Amino acid sequence: MNIDVFKNVVAPRNQVLWLILAFQSGFMNAGGYLAVHRFVSHITGYGTYVGVALAQKQYLGAFEMALAPLFFLAGAIVAGWIVDRKMILGEAPNIEGGIITLAALNLFIYLGEFSEYLGTFGEPLVLQRDFLLLFILCFACGLQNGLFAGATKGQIRTTHLTGPVTDLGINISKILTLRSGDPERSQLIAMNWLRVKIIVAFSGGSLIAALVFTELTYEGFAVPCAISLYLVWYIRRLNHSHELEKRSATATTIVPAEPKSAPNKVEAS
């Protein structure tokens, strides 16, 4: 995978990727909340859960809540191993492998419904099988967030809205400060519109998830599984298009040498 594909994050074809990922994150986050009553695409609230549990002397609960961020962290570590580490070593990042792993995790949850291993959808977070689902979803979201945060040098984060909303506000101040026609101002406006779209896509995924999971329960996780498989194809398409553009650009820069003119014959006097 050529990481240069994602260099221009506001390119329309890349924006499609970011919005699909944000939709998928919103869908999984809502699914996790409806299934085990915890958000899974970010770990902001888990510190609070741990503190409250410790104050109430619920030590086992505090320990289990502390594990959720660790699984999110583990997902991010795996993403860094297959993307950032390979970039440092000068190797091709394995983004496709990360996306396939996301599909496999959602498929595992989907199949868990048929085996009845995951129990009753929406039951209180008290049984080991409920925590297993929570940890799998946290790992998946950490993996997804890390894959493209590394690939875009931190410009794109699709599993939570805290960072995008913060950047949105900071950039609004910069836009109001810079003069009209400034290239940096135009770039900031483009990035802000992208962040607005990501926020809408994430919220839209949550809305659709609420409708889907109400009818299908755990089977609703087949949707992010299908999305991940589609993304494998889409990323390959992006990479193929990028390679074709590179070859075309290289061909146009090669200028054929002009043929040498034959030497003038000297006429005999």
The whole-number pLDDT of residue 119 equals 67
DSSP string, 163-207: HHHHHHHHHHHHHHHSPTT-HHHHHHHHHHHHHHHHHHHHHHHHH
Query: How many Cβ atoms from other residues are within 10 Å of residue 187's Cβ?
Result: 12
Q: Which of 186, 194, 105, 116 shows the shortest CA–CA distance to 148?
A: 194
Q: Which residues contact 25 (CB under 8 A, 6 or more apart)?
A: 41, 141, 144, 145, 158, 159, 160, 202, 205
pLDDT of 8 reads 87
Q: How many CA atoms are closer than 13 Å to the CA of 253, on its beta-carbon side?
A: 6
Ranking 110-119, 129-138, 223-232 by mean pLDDT, the lowest is: 110-119
Alpha carbon dihedral 205, 207, 210, 211, in 10-degree steps, equals -100
Mean pLDDT of all residues in 136-165:
86
Fill in the amino acid letter for 32. G
Q: Which two tokens stand for residue 47?
A: 């510190």
**pLDDT average, residue stretch 236-254:** 78
Query: Which tens digits make up the pLDDT trace of 169-218?
Result: 999 999 999 888 888 899 999 999 999 999 999 999 999 999 998 888 88
How many angstroms separate the CA atoms of 141 and 41, rounded? Answer: 5
Going by pLDDT thresholds of 50, 70 and 90, the confidence category of residue 153 is: confident
Q: How many CA atoms lie within 13 A of 110 on its CB side?
A: 15
> Where in the chain are the domains?
26-240
Q: How far apart are CA 32 and CA 35, in angstroms?
A: 5
Percent share of the chain, pLDDT over 70: 87
Of 217, 62, 41, residue with least CA distance to 137: 41
**Is the confidence at residue 124, as pLDDT, over 50?**
yes
CB atoms within 10 A of CB 20: 18
The encoded tokens of residue 115 equal: 């085996």
3-state secondary structure of 15: helix
Residue-level pLDDT at 114? 67
Confidence check: pLDDT of 23 > 80: yes
Give mean pLDDT, residues 240-259. Answer: 70
Residue 257: band (very low, low, confident or very high) from pLDDT cuts 50, 70, 90: low
pTM of the model: 0.85
- Which residues have a Cβ under 8 Å from the Cβ of 193 and sit 6 or more positions away? none
At 128, the pLDDT band (50, 70, 90 cuts) reads: low
